[in-house]
């Protein structure tokens, strides 16, 4: 009976190693569940912002300052 114990242990270990290896490979290569329908772009609300900039370079309260004069 002692001689069959290492054989059973080896068989169990080999079977365990085979099952865990094939399971991990199958899980790594399966891309996942296919989507039931293709995703369409959602209709998000788009906010358009418009900025109007008015430069005042002279006067009592200027809003811009000239750093370098253009050539």
Half-sphere exposure of 52 (CA within 13 A, CB side): 1
Q: Where are the domains of the chain?
A: 1-32
What are the helix (H) ranges across the chain?
4-29
3-state helix, strand, coil in the chain (%, to 5): 35, 0, 65
63 touches 52 (CB < 8 A): no
- Against a cut of 0.75, is the pTM above it? no
The one-digit pLDDT tens for each residue of the chain (71 residues) are: 556 667 788 888 888 888 877 665 555 555 666 667 777 777 888 889 998 877 888 888 888 888 888 87
DSSP 40: P
- Phi and psi (nearest 5°) for 15? -65, -45
């Amino acid at each position: 009976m002692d001689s069959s114990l290492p054989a059973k242990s080896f068989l169990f270990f080999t079977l365990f190693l085979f099952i865990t290896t094939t399971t991990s490979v199958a899980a790594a290569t399966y891309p996942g569940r296919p989507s039931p329908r293709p995703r369409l772009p959602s209709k998000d609300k788009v906010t358009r912002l418009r900025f109007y900039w008015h430069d005042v370079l002279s006067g009592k309260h200027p809003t811009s300052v000239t750093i370098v004069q253009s050539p």
